[in-house]
Amino acid sequence: MPTKRLTMAQAVIEFLKNQYTERDGRQHQFFAGCFGIFGHGNVAGIGQALQQNPDFRYYLARNEQGMVHTAAAFAKMSNRLRAFACTTSVGPGATNMVTAAAGATINRLPVLLLPGDVFARRNVAPVLQQLEMPFSQDLSVNDCFKPITRYWDRINRPEQIITSLPEAMRILTSQADTGAVMLSLPQDVQVEAFDYPAAMFDKRVWVIPRPRPAATLLRQAADWIRTSQTPLIVAGGGIIYSEATEALAQFVGRVGIPVVETQAGKGALNYDHPQSLGAMGVTGTPGANILAREADLIIGIGTRYSDFTTASKTAFKNPKVRFININISEYDAYKHAALPIIADAQVTLKELDKALEGYKVAEDYQTRIAAFNKEWDAEVDRIYNLKHGPPISQGEVIGAVNTAINPQDVVVGAAGSLPGDLHKLWRARDPKGYHLEYGYSCMGYEIAGGLGVKMAAPDREVYVMVGDGSYLMMAQEIVTSLQENYKLNIIVVNNHGFSSIGNLSDSIGSGGFGTHYLYRDEKTGSLDGERLPVDFAANARSLGAHTIEASDLPSLLAALDEAKQQTKTTVIVIETDREQRVPGYESWWDVPIAEVSTQESVQAAYNEYQTSKKDEQYHL
């Protein structure tokens, strides 16, 4: 058997270079390269291997969490057909990835993590940054990734990668099981040479299948739909990953079933499609939530039914409600005791269309859908044109960005009050135009994620919408965007703290405690002094970005225009009124409240909470 003598790290890179995915006859090189930050745990191993393989591009990031967000966003934008590897040193470099790795796994996005690990041979232990445990030597900080990765392995001998790398690829390319994958690479083993079988470096194509639905279950689903009075489709992210949006538009256009969207599923239908009722759940529209409440049949496609979608299990109130779940993942397909169709969304929608020949929802149902649509359009217009302030409202900022940009451009967000407001108000005009990380809702994803989106779709303009809190948590990948010449448009919405959690704090009776960015007042002992003088524009400028400050709607529109003329990352800073919020519509979210308290406002909130909680259902 021909062999190739390489270090373990060189063999890893050589293998990764040759992995491809294929769907619908189109091939993609799976790895677009490797993000990394070097330290003593990887500089001589994976670092050297990357230097020796310039055709597998190395991207220097600013923070390990940031680079994993970038990698996850890239995979999401690529419909999980492409991904990045991420290399770090041992110790803090590795554990810096924990947060974003958890985000990738929760959002079911493939990212390959390649941290260094402490010496396998142990004789020099404890090495710099090593976690010592008196009860075991078979433990390092990298073990804390075990619950947040879908495959985890430590490579203690160079030949172990011959069997580990294919397993890593199996998970990364699995539509049902994908997420963060970790190969933990002890720094001494990375540099050890071995005679690897040459065949392991042959080009390998991982075919992404489109499994068909089981015939009996499809027939049953069609029967359930035909006998339903008020069927409703809950469109999740799986529809977008499966590229099933056209099939969905055609199907519902013909049969008239209304569609509501989760955060990940937003954009599955264009906002002005007659069957589109927009966002569903806690951050949903009135039409979506009222029809969900009444529906006798929910067809969940590519959704995992998070509490934001189910309004903490209060969304579906028809006592006769049944569920059909079309999902590539068996786990999700069985939720809510549904009729489980474990299959690809695109194929299933086409087959369902055939199975439902001649079927259309009742006329009066269609009339209601059209009425809800019209009312919601008017409500969005109202919020886009509030003429509040200055400072203006966040709804107006969203309206300005939505109307100023091109349909194929992408809005990116993750945490704070923006995701809810965007979910409600954003007029989606392209299946890949709305990119919200709301599985983990991780502050700090926005800018780093925006970079991943831009790298996956360089022909589109990317508009990152980020709160001041999130910006302060993680803005440093602006530097990486400049280094790589990937232009981002970043809109910093400054409301001097946490509008979202401030609102939540109000609702639980705590009056916004600890959510304002204010100096500590020595007299009160609390954080209720003057405003902190953070200059976001100066901060972004210091990192090298072009910056523009806007203060009202006309100056914001001018800034968006100016940003379009720029070729490098541009940051627009606008102050908004934290208290001018977009209302909630016909929904509820379970956030438990203190059962006993010295505060009357908390006691009142607790009593109200007890009543609302009674609406929570089991779907059995």
Of residues 345 and 574, the one with the C-beta less far from ligand TPP: 574
**DSSP state at residue 225:** H
Structure tokens at 363: 């006329």
72 binds ligand TPP (CB under 6 A): no
DSSP-derived secondary structure for 408-450: T-EEEE-SSSHHHHHHHH----STTSEEE--SS--TTHHHHHH
500 binds ligand TPP (CB under 6 A): yes
510 binds ligand TPP (CB under 6 A): no
**500 interacts with, out of ligand TPP, Mg ion, none, CB within 5 to 8 A per kind:** ligand TPP
**73 interacts with, out of Mg ion, ligand TPP, none, CB within 5 to 8 A per kind:** none
Binding-site member from 43, 239, 415, 605 for ligand TPP (CB under 6 A): 415
Task: Find how far residue 144's CA is from the centre of its chain.
Answer: 22
Of residues 184 and 495, the one with the C-beta less far from Mg ion: 495
Of residues 168 and 418, the one with the C-beta less far from ligand TPP: 418
Of residues 131 and 473, the one with the C-beta less far from ligand TPP: 473
Residue 463 contacts residue 324 (beta carbons within 8 Å): no
Q: In the chain, what is the straight-line distance between the N-terminal and C-terminal CA atoms, in Å? A: 56
Of residues 283 and 495, the one with the C-beta less far from Mg ion: 495
Pick the closest to residue 221 from 231, 236, 211 (CA basis).
231
Binding-site member from 186, 238, 469, 509 for Mg ion (CB under 5 A): 469
Rounded (5°) CA angle 575-580-586: 135
**DSSP state at residue 392:** B
Binding-site member from 468, 477, 549, 575 for Mg ion (CB under 5 A): 468
Check residue 25 and give left, alpha or beta (phi > 0: left; psi -120 to 50: alpha).
left
Residue 372 contacts residue 378 (beta carbons within 8 Å): no
**267 interacts with, out of ligand TPP, Mg ion, none, CB within 5 to 8 A per kind:** none
**456 interacts with, out of ligand TPP, Mg ion, none, CB within 5 to 8 A per kind:** none
What burial class does residue 220 get, using C-beta atoms within 10 Å of its C-beta: 0-12 exposed, 13-18 middle, 19+ buried? Answer: middle
Please report, as residue ranges, which positions from 416 to 445 form the binding site for Mg ion (by CB under 5 A).
none
Binding-site member from 79, 489, 499, 587 for ligand TPP (CB under 6 A): 499
Bridge partners (DSSP) listed for residue 114? 87
Q: Kindly determine how many residues on this chain lie close enough to bind ligand TPP according to the rule CB under 6 A.
A: 17
Kind of pairing between the strands at 58-60 and 31-36? parallel
**501 interacts with, out of ligand TPP, Mg ion, none, CB within 5 to 8 A per kind:** ligand TPP
Rounded to a whole number of angstroms, the minimum distance from the CB of residue 101 to ligand TPP is 13
**39 interacts with, out of Mg ion, ligand TPP, none, CB within 5 to 8 A per kind:** none
Rounded to a whole number of angstroms, the minimum distance from the CB of residue 230 to ligand TPP is 35
**441 interacts with, out of Mg ion, ligand TPP, none, CB within 5 to 8 A per kind:** ligand TPP
The dihedral sign for the CA sequence 154, 156, 158, 164: negative
575 binds ligand TPP (CB under 6 A): no
Rounded to a whole number of angstroms, the minimum distance from the CB of residue 60 to ligand TPP is 23
Q: What is the dihedral of CA 289, 294, 295, 298, to 10 degrees?
A: 50
Distance CA(338)–CA(305), nearest Å, equals 12
* Site stretch for ligand TPP (CB under 6 A), options 100-108, 186-194, 376-384, 499-507: 499-507
498 binds ligand TPP (CB under 6 A): yes
Rounded to a whole number of angstroms, the minimum distance from the CB of residue 413 to ligand TPP is 10
**DSSP state at residue 134:** T
Distance CA(357)–CA(270), nearest Å, equals 24
Please report, as residue ranges, which positions from 431 to 450 form the binding site for ligand TPP (by CB under 6 A).
441-444
Rounded to a whole number of angstroms, the minimum distance from the CB of residue 241 to ligand TPP is 24
Distance CA(452)–CA(225), nearest Å, equals 40
Rounded to a whole number of angstroms, the minimum distance from the CB of residue 490 to ligand TPP is 13
Rounded to a whole number of angstroms, the minimum distance from the CB of residue 416 to ligand TPP is 2
**Residue 17, C-beta contacts closer than 8 angstroms, at least 6 positions apart:** 31, 53, 55, 56
Structure tokens at 159: 């030949």
- Give the x/- contact pattern for ligand TPP in 454-493, rule: CB under 6 A: -------------xxxx-----------------------
Q: Given the structure tokens 């590795």, which residue do they identify? A: 94
Distance CA(315)–CA(321), nearest Å, equals 11
| β strands within 140-274, DSSP E | 151-154, 180-186, 193-197, 204-207, 231-235, 259-261
What burial class does residue 473 get, using C-beta atoms within 10 Å of its C-beta: 0-12 exposed, 13-18 middle, 19+ buried? Answer: middle
Rounded to a whole number of angstroms, the minimum distance from the CB of residue 512 to ligand TPP is 11
Rounded to a whole number of angstroms, the minimum distance from the CB of residue 577 to Mg ion is 11
Binding-site member from 41, 340, 416, 509 for ligand TPP (CB under 6 A): 416
- Give the x/- contact pattern for ligand TPP in 270-289, rule: CB under 6 A: --------------------
What burial class does residue 72 get, using C-beta atoms within 10 Å of its C-beta: 0-12 exposed, 13-18 middle, 19+ buried? Answer: buried
Rounded to a whole number of angstroms, the minimum distance from the CB of residue 414 to ligand TPP is 8
392 binds ligand TPP (CB under 6 A): no
Of residues 14 and 575, the one with the C-beta less far from ligand TPP: 575
* Site stretch for ligand TPP (CB under 6 A), options 219-227, 320-328, 376-384, 411-419: 411-419
Binding-site member from 42, 314, 495, 570 for ligand TPP (CB under 6 A): 495
**Residue 511, C-beta contacts closer than 8 angstroms, at least 6 positions apart:** 505, 601
Rounded to a whole number of angstroms, the minimum distance from the CB of residue 421 to Mg ion is 12
Binding site for Mg ion (CB under 5 A): 467-469, 495
Under the rule (CB under 6 A), what is the footprint of ligand TPP?
415-418, 441-444, 467-470, 495, 498-501
